Structure 1
Amino acid sequence: MNMTGKDIILGLLIEKSRSGYEINEVFETVFRYFYKTSYGMIYPTLRRLEKELLVEKNIVIQEGKPNKNIYNITKKGIEEFHCYLKSPIDPEKRESEFLVRMYFGGEEEKTIIANWLRSRLSLLENDINQLMSNHKEWRDKMSYTQIIAYEIGLAQFLAEKQVIENKLKELTEKAE
């Protein structure tokens, strides 16, 4: 069973009731490291989940600002999410513009390849720093399995960083 945004939204609503905006915040912070989505996916998915009776929407009246829709998972939604958790784990599919460039970039000049490596290294360092910073905020709230996900994600970034640093060094030594 392929993981979808639906599965993640149901999982987030098991944790606690949330607005679409709050769900998007989690996608942009926690899940941005391992699940690609767009803001435009969240509300259509919530509407579909509501039609399927997997979530319920409660409208919170707010003075001076628009009303807020808060979504709660239903018993049926909890059952659906647990079916997803019990399904076999599919092979992972990774999308990486950087790796596509590395695959096809064999005929490019070494300076261009070095620039790609430096660019990816910079992005990795930003992600690593952000993950380490977030960990200070998240660590006391993380479950055992969330800690596993965090540590694997960080280890993957650190390993990729090491490979890129080694390849940059090789390129530099060959150029001299």
Structure 2
Amino acid sequence: MKTGELIKQLRLKKGITQDELAERTDISVRTIQRIESCEVDPRAYTLQSIATALEVDFEMLAGTEDKPEAGNPKNEESKWLPLIHLSGLLLLIIPPIILWIWKRDKVEDIQRHAYDVINFQLSMTLYLLPCALFHIIPFLIVLGIYSQVVIIVNTMKVTSSRPYKYPLTIKFLKQQA
């Protein structure tokens, strides 16, 4: 459980409003709202003030963030899923296939990510090939830059566990339901 979620849960259990908590801690209501919605991570002195107001131990609030551990599946995902997306920068299909085969039993949802990256790479290759053959340099440059930007943006989204999308992708490989 995240710190903000725990603070909200403890505050509601005590029957305290956000306004009352803000008064007791000398922290703005907006800051309390941002902490509880997990938009921001509170600093230590803010946590200490909230812990005092909620009559709980500081350690209880300070130790709630998920810490990555070795062998933790979420930690595995946090490394390999962005890497599989980043491998798309090479516009080669082999790296994502190798990563998918290597980690398919250890990383949940890696097949969907690998399929998305491979489909995008195949689509971009299909679009770039005629541009190269017919010397349509402006389209070649635009598509090249476009594919690199999309890959970098999606890698950052996957790194922060947000949904991603590869536009202009033909579904060569389809997910089994």
Tell me the TM-score range normalised by the shorter chain: under 0.3
Higher relative contact order (CA 8 A, sep 6+): 1
State TM-score, norm by structure 1.
0.25
State TM-score, norm by structure 2.
0.24
- Decide which structure has the larger Cα Rg and report it: 2
